[in-house]
Amino acid sequence: SIRIKQVNEVKISKYILKYTFEDWNNLVESDVVIVGAGPSGMTAAYYLAKAGLKTVIFERRLSFGGGIGGGAMNFHKIVIETPADEIIKELKIRYIEPEEGIFVIDSSEFMAKLATAAIDAGAKIIHGVTVDDVIFRENPLRVAGVAVEWTSTQMSGLHVDPLFISAKAVVDATGHDAEIISVASRKVPELGISVPGEKSAYSEIAEELVVENTGKVAPGLYATGMAVCEVKSLPRMGPIFGAMILSGKKVAEEIIKDLRN
Ligand code: 48F
């Protein structure tokens, strides 16, 4: 029979607490905080961590992938287009190419391999944490971090103060609602951000526009993925994901450049 090591409950608790707090004490001063573990956030995390930056993703849910898993009406295939295939090939995601420049992949493989790539590169993904505010500083005026709260605490409606995490760059990868940029535009009007909201679908032009408009929205605050549409009033594109991962890569490159200057 298999001999399994006997581990006491208290010992289990102690190890969980010891190493969780070790991580949090380290992450409390991060280089980059990414909000949201969807396609754009996980791609950004991969490239940022690969460049040696201390990168953490806070994800409200207990899963990876954001809108990937639900796909289009819950179907399990995802479409991407060239040149985003360079990223899926780099991450060894398998694909069908029904015509030149169009790639069809399994959503589960897409989610799993994006998460693995980010984690293997050194990024931390912390689940069950909601970001509900930013930290700002004057002279120079900038976003300097985020406020975090357990999602379960938020759901309970209890009055509990958050903890704060400092970062040299905060990335809004929260998808259609651009939650972090919205809160910053409302609570730090000095930043001069407006959030006009996304437009209806126009896939052919939306993909390029998202990537083009990806980047800094205020000092220390960046937009990637569908959050870009919300902030720049761009059309949505539905279940095609090339621009999401190209946007994640682009925001990473911009942050790497900004932090080196
Ligand atoms: O929505 P989501 O997948 O964002 P994305 O990377 O990709 C969009 C596509 O999935 C799809 C599309 C493509 O054509 O239109 O919608 O822009 O992932 C956003 C993630 O952020 C989490 C949320 O649970 C999801 O996993 N999230 C949202 N707000 C917060 C958050 C928050 N305040 N704190 C923590 N996580």
Domain that holds residue 253: 31-71+110-260
Q: CB of 66 closer than 6 A to ligand 1?
A: yes
Question: How many Cα atoms within 13 Å fall on the side-chain side of residue 178?
Answer: 27
What pLDDT sits at residue 135?
Answer: 98
What does the pLDDT read at residue 209?
Answer: 98
- Quick one: pLDDT at residue 47? 98
Evaluate if residue 24 carries a pLDDT over 90. yes
Residue 179: CB within 6 Å of ligand 1?
yes
Q: Which residue is associated with the tokens 């001063």?
A: 29
Distance CA 152, CA 129 (A): 8
pLDDT at residue 88 tops 90: yes
Question: For position 61, what pLDDT does the model report?
Answer: 98
> pLDDT value at position 241?
98
- Ligand 1 center from residue 71 Cα (angstroms): 13
Does residue 91 fall inside a structural domain? no
Residue 64 Cα: closest atom of ligand 1: 26
Flag whether pLDDT at 194 surpasses 90: yes
Tens digits of per-residue pLDDT, 34-48?
999 999 999 999 999
* 211 is a domain residue: yes
Output the CA 8–ligand 1 centroid distance in Å. Answer: 39
Over residues 3-17, the mean pLDDT reads: 98
pLDDT tens by residue, 153-163: 999 999 999 99
63 backbone dihedrals φ, ψ, rounded to 5°? -145, 170
Question: How confident is the prediction for the chain on average, in pLDDT?
Answer: 98
* Alpha carbon distance 38, 230 (integer Å): 16
Q: What number is the average pLDDT over the span 147-170?
A: 97
Is 201 a member of any domain?
Answer: yes
Cβ 170 vs Cβ 33: under 8 Å = yes
The ligand 1 atom at the shortest distance from the C-alpha of residue 180 is 33
For residues 248 and 39, the answer to whether their CB atoms sit within 8 Å is yes
Q: Is residue 253 part of a domain?
A: yes
Q: Whats the size of the chain, residue-wise?
A: 261
Q: Is 64 in the pocket of ligand 1 (CB under 6 A)?
A: no
**What's the pLDDT at 154?**
96
Neighbours of 27 (CB within 10 A): 19
Q: Is 149 in the pocket of ligand 1 (CB under 6 A)?
A: no
ipTM value greater than 0.95: yes
Classify residue 98: in a domain, yes or no: no
Q: How much is the pLDDT for 74?
A: 94
Tell whether the model's pLDDT for residue 254 goes beyond 90: yes
Q: Ligand 1 in contact with 178 (CB < 6 A)?
A: no
Nearest atom within ligand 1 for CA of residue 240: 14
Q: Give pLDDT, residue 261.
A: 84
Residue 91 and residue 47 in contact, taking contact as beta carbons nearer than 8 Å: no
Instruction: Establish whether residue 61 lines the binding site of ligand 1, counting it when its CB lies within 6 angstroms of any ligand atom.
Output: yes
Overall average pLDDT of the 164-170 stretch: 98
* 58 Cβ inside 6 Å of ligand 1: yes
Residue 161 in any domain: the answer is yes
Q: Ligand 1 center to residue 189 CA distance, Å?
A: 24
Residue 83 confidence (pLDDT): 98
| Mean pLDDT on 111-133 | 98
DSSP notation for the chain: --------HHHHHHHHHHHHHHHHHHHTEEEEEEE--SHHHHHHHHHHHHTT--EEEEESSSSS-GGGTTTBTTBSEEEEETTTHHHHHHTT---EEEETTEEEEEHHHHHHHHHHHHHHHT-EEEESEEEEEEEEETTTTEEEEEEEEEHHHHHHT-----EEEEEEEEEE---TT-HHHHHHHHH-GGG-------BS--HHHHHHHHHHH-EEEETTEEE-THHHHHHHT-B---SB-HHHHHHHHHHHHHHHHHHH-
Q: Is the pLDDT of residue 85 over 90?
A: yes
Whether 251 is in the pocket of ligand 1, judged by its Cβ within 6 Å, is no
Give the total number of structural domains in the chain: 1
Structural domain includes residue 234: yes
- How far is the C-alpha of 59 from the C-alpha of 66, rounded, in Å? 9
Q: Which of 57, 195, 244 for a ligand 1 pocket mutation test, highest count of atoms within 8 Å of Cβ?
A: 244
Q: What is the CATH number of the domain that holds 141?
A: 3.50.50.60
* pLDDT of amino acid 114: 98
